[in-house]
Amino acid sequence: MGLWMLLLLLHFHLVLCVFLPAPFNISISSFNMEHTLRFLPGPQTPSDATFTVQVLRSRKNSWRPVAACLELKAGQTCNLTKAFKDPFDHYRARVQAVTPSQTSNWTVSGRFQPVSDTVLGPPDLSVSGCGNCLVLQLRLPAAPVLRENLQLRELYREFVFHVQRTRDGTQFTLNLPYEEETVITYLQPGVEYCVTVSVTSIFNSNTVPSKPQCAFTSPPSQRSSLSVVFSLVGVFSVLVFLLMGLVLYGSQLSFKLLRQRIPRTLPQRLLLPHVPSANMETPNMGFTTTAETSHQGAIKIL
């Protein structure tokens, strides 16, 4: 009897010594004041284990359970947006694995302040031209927490506009307060500009700029287009005349060089058309010319 009792106590001791692995790699990510807790189950955690989440507020030194995150499964996340009510306070979160017979140790996250640790996304931006200016229309992000909390909307009081001219890359920046419609003046007409916008805040430097939105200040005028066409035609005509002049000049220069190479001592008759000589013999057609008779008489006299 004593041996069986000893074995039973040893069995319970071994069971109690096998702890449930604690979760690890806990992180809190936040975008536009919406906060999400993520974690990984510990190695060899049973498949039937669930996870519970609690939060600690620095001004109240007590852990409170998060009602929506009491029985999470592996791979699920916990939304802490409502649990982190004060954006300027500091919070911590912790996670524990639970089975019907065991509980793991708590794993605690780092300290988190909503107003400074969240990432502020850009507003919705649209751009249109107005002659020598651009009209920028802004709309705040559609995050529910920003619509419901006027205090958080103060984070979107000032914006940085980055303006770049597409043609040559000339750029400048403007710091302007929030307005649903903003006009940027003194721009070049008929030119395309691209604009990006991001939030600037003294409480938070984690901002994301918007995608570039591009527009022409005004459509290029037809007169300027015709001027460009005529200019190109004129330039092409000048080039053609220059090319023809070069060809003529080259031919004249070649002719002069050729004449200089011909020897000046050549008989002039080589340079003249060929004319038959009067003393050349002609075929005897049955009669004798006067020149021939005189020539024969001269021979006889000699």
Q: Give the model's confidence band at 132: pLDDT under 50 very low, under 70 low, under 90 confident, else very high.
A: very high
Backbone angles phi, psi at 180, to 5 degrees: -65, -30
Partner residues linked to 107 by β-bridges: 95
In 3-state terms the chain splits into helix, strand, coil percentages (rounded to 5) of 30, 30, 40
Contacts of 43 (CB under 8 A, 6+ apart): 21
Q: What is the pTM of this model?
A: 0.64
Q: How far apart are CA 183 and CA 103, in angstroms?
A: 61
Sign of CA dihedral 254, 260, 263, 268: positive
- Listed in order, strand segments (DSSP E) in 130-233 are 134-139, 158-165, 171-177, 181-184, 192-199, 213-216
Please write the tens of the pLDDT for every residue from 90-129.
999 999 999 999 999 999 999 999 999 999 999 999 999 9
Q: What is the pLDDT of residue 244?
A: 82
Q: What is the mean pLDDT of the chain?
A: 81
Contacts of 183 (CB under 8 A, 6+ apart): 130, 133, 134, 135, 136
Locus of tokens 């506009």: 161
Q: Is 196 in contact with 210 (CB distance < 8 Å)? A: yes
In this model, does residue 148 exceed pLDDT 60?
yes
Q: Got the DSSP string for 78-130?
A: EE-TTT---TTS-EEEEEEEE-SS-BPPPEEPPPB-HHHHSBBPPPEEEEEE-
Sketch out the chain's domains with CATH numbers: 18-117 (2.60.40.10), 124-216 (2.60.40.10)
Q: How far apart are CA 199 and CA 204, in angstroms?
A: 9
